[in-house]
Amino acid sequence: SQQGEEDPQALSIQEGENATMNCSYKTSINNLQWYRQNSGRGLVHLILIRSNEREKHSGRLRVTLDTSKKSSSLLITASRAADTASYFCATPEYGNKLVFGAGTILRVKS
């Protein structure tokens, strides 16, 4: 089952532009996490936002969470070619596993 659904499926931008990805989920959550995956590699944790938080920053990343709309967004500012990757949101289900969305493929052109 997939809890989170990312939007858009793919995004192509120029270096220096901002990239925004959205995630919607279905059930109540304790937290929501964003991960990055470079092609064929392992997933790297980016940021975790708890259900009582509305916004969180980490470097060039900004995550928002709207529990009333069951949605989250990930903003990458001043994107770089190295940001090219797939981005996944994930939510814990029954506290024992992370359920991932289908991901957004981001391509940053230099």
Partner 1 sequence: DSGVTQTPKHLITATGQRVTLRCSPRSGDLSVYWYQQSLDQGLQFLIQYYNGEERAKGNILERFSAQQFPDLHSELNLSSLELGDSALYFCASSVDLGAMNTEAFFGQGTRLTVV
Tell which one of 20, 22, 31, 67 touches partner 1 (CB under 8 A).
31
Tell which one of 2, 9, 18, 58 touches partner 1 (CB under 8 A).
2
Distances from the Cα of 46 to the Cα of 27, 78, 87, 88, angstroms: 22, 16, 9, 10
Q: Using CB under 8 A, which of the segments 12-20, 52-60, 73-81, 87-95 binds partner 1?
A: 87-95
* End-to-end Cα separation, the chain, in angstroms: 36
| 92 binds partner 1 per the rule CB under 8 A | yes
Query: Least separation, in Å, of the C-beta of 1 and partner 1?
Result: 8
DSSP string over 51-72: TT-SEEEETTEEEEEETTTTEE
Residue type, 6: E
Quote the CA–CA distance of 35 and 46 in Å, as a whole number.
5
* Site track for partner 1 across 40-59, x = CB under 8 A: xxxxxx--x-----------
Query: Least separation, in Å, of the C-beta of 110 and partner 1?
Result: 26
Neighbours of 92 (CB within 10 A): 15
Q: Which residues bind partner 1 (CB under 8 A)?
A: 2, 30-31, 33, 35, 40-45, 48, 88, 90, 92, 94-103
